[in-house]
Amino acid sequence: MNRFARRLFVPCLLLAILIPLAPICLAQTGQGQWQTLPYTMPINPVHAALLNNGKVVIVSGSGNVAGNTSFRAALWDPQAGTITTQPVGWDMFCNGMVVLPDGRPFVMGGTLQYDPFHGELRTSTYDPATNTFTDQQSMAHGRWYPTGTVLGDGRVMIFSGLSETGGTNTSIEFYSAGSGWSAAFSAPWTPPLYPRMHLLPNGNVFYSGSTTGSSLFNPATHTWTTNIAFTNYTGTRTYGSSVLLPLTPANNYAPKVLIMGGGSPSTNTSEIIDLSAPTPRWVYGPNMSQPRIEMNATILPNGRVLAIGGSLNDEDTTTASLKADLYDPGSNTFGPAGAEVYARLYHSVSLLLPDGTVWVAGGNPQRGTYELHMEIYSPAYLLNPDGSPATRPTITGTFSSVIGYGSAFQVQTPDAANISSVVLMRNGAVTHAFDMDQRYVGLSFTAGTGVLNVTGPPNGNIAPPGYYMLFILNSAGVPSVATMVQVSLAANDVPPTGTITNPASNVTISTGQSVTYSGTGNDPDGTISAYSWSFPGGNPSSSNLANPGSVHHYGSAGFLALGVALLANRGTGRRHIVHRYSYSRYKLQRNRFAQR
């Protein structure tokens, strides 16, 4: 992709440091600024996740084009201003995607067929280190439009979606990177597609919509408490959004959830529920400036929520909502945040980036076409009143890139005396008007000379294990550029390593012939407690043995991704060892080896 020469007006200089931008900047200093990137998105950006290297992986699959078998994904590098596309092995369109604690985006389900839609059973992980997708163990049944939630112990919970036969999958399954999928646990009710789910500090998972009745799920007992509260808005908030508001020491990590928009014709209303109350109930919040269906909502490092996009009538660009709003939890108000140039409707996405800006892309109200232009929103905290770039605090280092629960760590900064807050912002994973991963966690700290003495989050229910952007904000509310850190269940654990010992080289096979597999692992500060092999298309398709032995393979040509995951004795420190093979009717060829 071509990068635009940095002939930018002064108010644009701050963003130009990290992201190449178009030369036109809207002079809306008090409301922030909107800018259009000088290059376009080559695939329909239906799903997007921020990686621990600051890049963004985009998954399109068939891209909402029936009959399209050229399934695609892409990698956007904001700093280089480049987008590279790549094929994927099956149709990941309309999956559920979250980021695992080890930093790999995890794709669950997708499209088995169009019109009527049926859901895929397959899953896949994306490795940022090797830019490859690797199939993992399939789910018990298909899921099209499911929601994934990372739990406090690092497991992933999946709920809803259309099954492989087209009905709603009402079961919950749990995925562990070391051992695969659990048994399925049936729910006593039928959820909507892409239900809005939030992990709460007590370990329960809250369902906030899109229907009027809200429910709680206990992952420990696999039980539901349904209809604990009802929204005041009597319609269904279809393709509205839901955000867990900031969890901070100041509010004792009390969970509040904000829902907004949805329906067709859509609403501009919002509602808030305080889940720490003895009897939680929804109360109306302030109204947005415009009604929104197919909207996006992104939480910022100052705790405010950017509400953008959508329209009055679903998939109708003539009623597009271009004005942006900022919700302030402190004052319980919405304020203006400028305006987008392009309509952002169905299949639009937004993500917070490490520089404190918000990336916005997509819009696909009609099959076969989508909005190619991408925009960047620079919040007002990045600008002085005269439009010049605000002076930002800087993080010069952290004594560890891995943070443990309740443990002390230090952040080096020359601005220590002027820091008002230290926050963790979980890397987002967004699709269909909902970010399944975003989370704001405030941290306790004291200031020293050139250093902040910070205490890690209390537990995994407040900050699920995984990668976060660490921001520091000064007394004026200006954030630093984030440093990427990993919150870990065992911050001092040394991960295991492993090797696939057989086959040790390329193998030529006939159709249906077997191959013998074996491997070995080592945990430098413990023992290996489990192995988990995945043989997509093989018989058997998985194994928990170090040496699985004979596996029968493949009656037709295609592509195989083979992997083995190792689990250390403390249940942490996983590493994923993967061989990738391409195979024809007669040859199984090892062409790549990668170790995480």
* Class of the domain covering 397-488: mainly beta
Strands (E), 413-450: 419-426, 429-431, 434-435, 439-443, 445-447
pLDDT at res. 556: 52
Q: What pLDDT is stored for residue 110 in this prediction?
A: 98
* Mean pLDDT along residues 538-544: 77
Average pLDDT over residues 153-168: 98
Average pLDDT of span 44-59:
98
Burial zone of 492 (CB within 10 Å; 0-12 exposed, 13-18 middle, 19+ buried): exposed
If pLDDT is split at 50, 70 and 90, which confidence band does 22 have?
A: very low
576, pLDDT greater than 70 = no
Q: Give the pair of three-digit tokens for residue 456.
A: 């890690």
- Confidence band for 504, pLDDT divided at 50, 70 and 90: confident
3-class SS of residue 84: strand
593 pLDDT above the threshold of 60: no
- Band (pLDDT 50/70/90 cuts) for residue 595 is very low
Continuous segment of H or E residues that includes residue 16: helix 13-16
CB 181 within 8 Å of CB 122:
no
Mean pLDDT computed over 552-565: 53
What is the Cα–Cα distance from 161 to 141, expressed in whole angstroms? 10
Look up the CATH superfamily of 10-382: Galactose oxidase/kelch, beta-propeller (2.130.10.80)
401 vs 503, higher pLDDT: 401
- Is the pLDDT reported for residue 506 higher than 80? no
The mean per-residue pLDDT over the stretch 395-403 comes to 93
Total residue length of the chain: 596
Q: What is the average pLDDT across 299-323?
A: 98
Close Cβ partners of 475 (under 8 Å, ≥ 6 residues apart)? 418, 419, 420
Query: Average pLDDT for residues 128-135, to the nearest whole number?
Result: 96
Would the CATH topology of 397-488 be identical to that of 497-595?
Answer: yes
Give the rounded percent of residues in the chain with a pLDDT score beyond 90: 76
Quick one: pLDDT at residue 554?
56
For the ranges 297-301, 550-554, 556-560, the maximum mean pLDDT occurs at: 297-301
pLDDT value at 35 more than 90: yes
- HSE of 562 in the Cβ direction (CA atoms, 13 Å)? 32
Q: What is the mean pLDDT of the chain?
A: 88
Could you tell me the CA-to-CA distances from 342 to 55, 252, 339, 352, 384 in Å, in that order? 23, 40, 9, 19, 26
Most confident of 19-23, 138-142, 523-527: 138-142
Interval 63-107: pLDDT, tens:
999 999 999 999 999 999 999 999 999 999 999 999 999 999 999
What share of the chain has pLDDT > 70, as a percent? 84
Q: Can you say whether the dihedral through the CA atoms of 233, 235, 236, 237 is positive or negative?
A: negative
Task: Give me the mean pLDDT over the 260-273 stretch.
Answer: 98
pLDDT at 39: 98
What pLDDT, on a 0 to 100 scale, did the predictor assign at position 549? 85
pLDDT at 579: 39
| Residue 584 clears pLDDT 50, i.e. is over it | no
Fold classified for 497-595 = Immunoglobulin-like (2.60.40)
Query: Average of pLDDT values for 394-419?
Result: 96
Residue 585 confidence (pLDDT): 29
- Tokens read off for 331: 């004052």
- Output the pLDDT for position 591: 30
Tell me, what's the pLDDT at 578?
38
Q: Which residue has the higher pLDDT, 499 or 558?
A: 499
Q: Which of the two residues, 4 and 352, has the higher pLDDT score?
A: 352
- pLDDT, tens digit (0-9, with 9 covering 90-100), for 451-475: 999 999 999 999 999 999 999 999 9
* Confidence at residue 492, expressed as pLDDT on a 0 to 100 scale: 64
What H or E segment, with its residue span, contains residue 398? strand 397-398
For the purposes of burial, counting CB atoms within 10 Å of the CB of 274, is it exposed (0-12), middle (13-18) or buried (19 or more)? Answer: middle
Asked whether the predicted pLDDT for residue 8 surpasses 80, the reply is no
According to the model, what pLDDT value does residue 29 have? 57
Instruction: Give me the pLDDT at residue 499, please.
Output: 76
At 223 the pLDDT is 98
Torsion sign, CA atoms 35, 266, 430, 64? negative
pLDDT of residue 587: 32
User: Is a pLDDT exceeding 70 seen at residue 124?
Assistant: yes
Q: What is the pLDDT of residue 355?
A: 98
pTM of the model: 0.86
pLDDT band at residue 16 using 50, 70 and 90 as cut-offs: very low
Decide if pLDDT at 477 tops 90.
Answer: yes
Q: Is residue 4 over pLDDT 50? A: no
Domain range annotation of the chain:
10-382, 397-488, 497-595
**Which of 58-62, 330-334, 570-574 is predicted least confidently?**
570-574
Express each pLDDT in 335-390 by its tens digit.
Answer: 999 999 999 999 999 999 999 999 999 999 999 999 999 999 999 999 999 889 99
Mean of pLDDT values over 567-580: 42
